[in-house]
Chain A
């Protein structure tokens, strides 16, 4: 079974509008972390935001926020006030357990295009 599912292969959003990128996950481990990464056309992986499974509040980092719904096992990324520079591939990833060196499991990604 897929551990991380991103159901939107591609999305468009108008500049200055908000956009939500979907991510659902599957784990039986009570301790896990959820990450979002941005990959621009240049290829590097840029860390955006993190949510821990025991965190009571949704994570926020500037224009990025994570809509964490634990019971539904979803961790959607919300980008407010989209900018042209937000056009990129976005990956949701999960790390199970707090242990030493656990791997990241990635979703297939969502390509976001911001229109002017």
Chain B
């Protein structure tokens, strides 16, 4: 089954304790992205990657890191989490084929993070 998986699905942590949220897709997609969802703001892009070893900042990158060492994985790293990073996080992937008229982004199930 084609899917994007995220782990963990739920996480409660404390300020300053480094954490990693994993994201993996089995569709051989070139493009992967992280979003955070906050009430009244919709989803906002944190970081994206257009292929292995190619990453770039989205709209709200502060306090986050990413890496793309393999095509299927795109982990989100919070080196020193703070309470304002409490949010619902989504990983998404899509094909990078430019000839497609549109690229549907496939979303993971979401990770609900609480930073105390």
A103 touches B33 (CB 8 A): yes
Does B105 touch A at the CB level, under 8 Å?
Answer: yes
Residues of A within 8 A of B35 (CB): 104, 106
Residues of A within 8 A of B41 (CB): 108
In the bound complex, what is the Cα–Cα distance between A43 and B48 (angstroms)? 21
Q: Which listed residue, A35, A100, A104, touches B96 by the CB 8 Å rule? A: A100
In the bound complex, what is the Cα–Cα distance between A107 and B98 (angstroms)? 25
Residues of B within 8 A of A47 (CB): 104
Q: How far is the CB of A6 from chain B (nearest CB, A)?
A: 8
Q: How large is the interface on B (under 10, 10 to 19, 20 to 34, 35 or more residues)?
A: 20 to 34
B96 touches A101 (CB 8 A): yes
Query: B-contacting residues of A (Cβ < 8 Å)?
Result: 4, 33, 35, 37, 43-45, 47, 50, 52, 91, 93, 95, 98-104, 106-109
29 contacting pairs across A/B (C-beta < 8 A): A4-B42, A33-B102, A35-B104, A43-B112, A44-B110, A45-B90, A45-B107, A45-B110, A47-B104, A91-B42, A91-B43, A93-B43, A98-B101, A98-B102, A100-B30, A100-B31, A100-B50, A101-B48, A102-B103, A103-B59, A104-B35, A104-B45, A104-B92, A106-B35, A106-B42, A106-B43, A106-B44, A108-B41, A109-B42
